Structure 1
Amino acid sequence: MSIKKRLIISYIAMLLIPTIIFVVITFFTSGILKNTIKGVYNVGFHGEPVENIIEKDSIAINNIKNYMLSHKKESENANFFENQNKYLNDQTGVAIRKNNNIVYMSPFLKNGVEHNILPKFGEYEGANRPHSIAENKFMLLKQYDFYVEDGSKVSIFLFLNVSSAENIFYSFFIIEVILLVIIFVLTSSILTFIMSKSIVKPLEKLKDGVILIKNGNLDFEINVTSNDEIGELSTAFEEMRFRLKKSLEVQLQYESNRKELISNISHDLKTPVTAIKGYVEGIKDGVADTPEKMDKYINTIYIKATDLDKLIDELFLFSKLDLKKLPFNFEKVDILNYLRDCIEELKFDLDKKNINIKLQCKLLEKIYVTADREKLKRVIMNIINNSVKYMDKDIGEIFINIKNDKNFCTISFKDNGMGISKEAIPYIFDRFYRSDFSRNSETGGSGLGLAISKRIIEEHGGTIWAESENYYGTNIIFKLKKWRDDYGKEDINS
Structure 2
Amino acid sequence: MSIRMKLLLSYAAMLVVPLLLLVLMALSLVFFFRGDLQNLQHFYESKAEGFEEDEFYHLIKRTIVQNPSLLADRHYLDEISKEISSKETYLVIRINGETGYASEGIRERKDFIASLPGFRKTNYREKTPAHFFENEYYSYIQNDILSAARQPVSLFLVTRVDPLVHLARQYFPLVLGLLLVVLIATHVLLTYLMSKNIIRPLRDLRNAAKLIKEGDLDFHVKVRGKDEIGQLGLAFEEMRDRLQQSIRIQMQYEENRKELVSNISHDLKTPITAIQGYVDGILEGIADSPEKTEKYIRTISAKAEEMDHLINELFLYSKLDLKRLPFHFEQVPIYAFLSDWAEELKFELDKIDVRFETDMDLDQGTYVLMDRDNFRRVLTNIIQNSLRYMDKKSKTIRILVSDEENIVTIVIEDNGPGISEAALPYIFDRFYRAEQSRNAYTGGTGLGLAIAKQIMEGHGGDIRASSTLGEGLRIIITMPIHIERGGKDE
TM-score (norm 2): 0.69
Between the aligned partners of 1:401 and 1:449, the Cα distance in structure 2 is 21
**Structure 1's 346 and 338: CA in aligned 2 closer, same or farther, altered over 3 A?**
same
The answer to whether the Cα contact below 8 Å between 1:420 and 1:469 also exists between their aligned partners in 2 is yes
Q: Distance in 2 between matches of 1:292 and 1:480?
A: 52
- Contact kept in structure 2, 1:390 and 1:417, CA below 8 Å: yes
> Counterpart in 2 of 1:435?
434
| 1:332 Cα deviation from its structure 2 partner | 2.0
SS state of the match for residue 482, structure 1? strand
Q: Residues of 1 paired with 2:49 and 2:228: CA distance? A: 63
Structure 1 gap segments, 5+ residues each = 1-6, 20-36, 67-85, 96-103, 110-138, 163-167
Find the aligned partners of 1:289 and 1:366 in 2 and give their Cα distance.
64
Deviations 1:26-56 (A, max 9, x none): xxxxxxxxxxx9xx88999xx99x978965x
* 1:225 CA displacement: 3.8
State whether residues 332 and 371 of structure 1, in contact with CA within 8 Å, keep that contact through their aligned partners in structure 2.
yes
Cα displacement (A) at 1:423: 1.5
In the TM superposition, what are the counterparts of 1:43-54 in structure 2 within 5 Å? none
1:392-411, aligned counterparts within 5 Å?
A: 392-411=391-410
Q: Which amino acid aligns with 2:393?
A: D
Query: Which amino acid in 2 is paired with 1:217?
Result: D
Query: In the alignment, which residue of structure 2 is the partner of 1:448?
Result: 447
Which residue is equivalent to 1:318?
317
Give the C-alpha shift of residue 304 in structure 1. 0.5
The 8 Å contact of residues 406 and 480 in structure 2, kept in 1 or not, is answered as: yes
Could you tell me which amino acid in structure 1 is paired with residue 98 of structure 2?
N
Within 5 A, what are the aligned runs for 1:173-252? 173-252=172-251
Please name the residue that 1:334 is paired with. 333
Change in Cα spacing, 1:292 to 1:93, as seen in structure 2 (3 Å) is: farther
For 1:292, the aligned partner's letter is: E
SS of residue paired to 2:483: coil
**Which secondary structure state, in structure 2, belongs to the residue aligned with residue 259 of structure 1?**
helix
Residue 447 (structure 2) pairs with residue 463 (structure 1): no
Distance in 1 separating the partners of 2:468 and 2:208: 47
Change (3 A) 1:89 1:147: closer
Alignment of 1:18-417 (within 5 A): 55=92, 58-59=93-94, 63=98, 104-106=122-124, 140=141, 148=149, 156=153, 158=155, 172-363=171-362, 365-417=364-416
Shift of the alpha carbon at 1:262? 0.8
Query: Contact between 1:461 and 1:481, CA under 8 Å: does it hold in 2?
Result: yes
State the distance in 2 between where 1:425 and 1:265 align.
Answer: 23
Aligned in 2, Cα 1:89/1:271: closer, same or farther, shift over 3 Å?
Answer: farther
Measured in 2, the distance between the counterparts of 1:53 and 1:64 equals 14
The amino acid across from 2:338 in the alignment is: L
Q: 1:473 to 1:453 in 2, by over 3 A?
A: same
Q: Which amino acid aligns with 1:393?
A: K
Greater shift in the superposed pair: 237-246 or 170-179: 170-179
For 1:62 and 1:52, locate their aligned partners in 2 and report how far apart those are by CA, in whole Å: 22
Question: CA 1:305–1:374 in structure 2 vs 1: closer, same or farther (change >3 Å)?
Answer: same
Taking the aligned partners of 1:169 and 1:411, their CA distance within structure 2 comes to: 94
Superposed CA RMSD in Å reads: 4.1
Q: Which moved more, 1:255-264 or 1:282-291?
A: 282-291
Amino acid at match of 1:238: E
8 Å CA contact retained: 2:123, 2:143: no
Q: If the length of structure 1 is used for normalisation, what is the TM-score?
A: 0.68
Q: How big is the shift at 1:284?
A: 0.9
Asked whether the equivalents of residues 356 and 396 of structure 2 are also in contact (C-alpha less than 8 Å), the reply is: yes
Q: Could you give the per-residue CA deviations for residues 305-340 of structure 1, whole angstroms, max 9, x where no partner exists? A: 110010111111111112222222111222222223
Q: Give, in angstroms, the shift of residue 87 of structure 1.
A: 7.2
Instruction: Provide, for residues 418-476 of structure 1, a one-character-per-residue CA deviation record: whole Å limited to 9, x for no partner.
Output: 11111122211111111123473211111111111111111111111111132121111
Q: 1:401 is aligned with what amino acid?
A: L
Conservation of the 8 A alpha-carbon contact between 1:94 and 1:159:
no
Q: Is the 8 A contact 1:42 1:89 kept in 2?
A: no
What is the rounded CA distance, in whole Å, between the counterparts of 2:95 and 2:284 in structure 1?
154
SS class of match (1:289): coil
Percent of residue pairs identical = 45
Residue identity in the other structure for 1:464: I
Distance in 1 between residues matched to 2:471 and 2:356, nearest whole Å: 17
Which amino acid in the other structure matches residue 237 of structure 2?
E
User: What is the aligned partner in structure 1 of residue 66 from structure 2?
Assistant: none
Please tell me the residue identity of whatever aligns with 2:297: I
Count of residue correspondences: 386
- Determine the C-alpha separation between the residues in 2 that align with 1:171 and 1:399: 106
Match of 1:23 in 2: none
Unpaired segments ≥5 residues, structure 2: 1-9, 23-43, 52-83, 102-112, 127-139, 160-166
3-state SS of the aligned residue for 1:422?
coil
1:267 Cα offset (Å)? 1.1
Compared with structure 1, are the counterparts of its residues 93 and 225 closer, same or farther at alpha carbon in structure 2 (3 Å cutoff)? farther
* Native 8 Å contact 1:41 1:53 kept in 2: no
Letter in 2 for 1:400: I
Partner of 2:480: 481
Which letter maps to 1:362? D
Does the 8 Å CA contact 1:354/1:394 hold for their aligned counterparts?
no
Q: Aligned letter for 1:185? A: I
Matched position secondary structure for 1:204 = helix
Is the 2:361–2:402 contact (alpha carbons within 8 Å) kept by the matching residues of 1?
Answer: no
Q: Deviations for 1:335-369, whole angstroms, at most 9, x for unmatched residues?
A: 22222322332334423432112211233534322
Shift of 1:140: 4.9
Equivalent residue, structure 1, for 2:135: none
Q: 1:403 to 1:93 in 2, by over 3 A?
A: farther
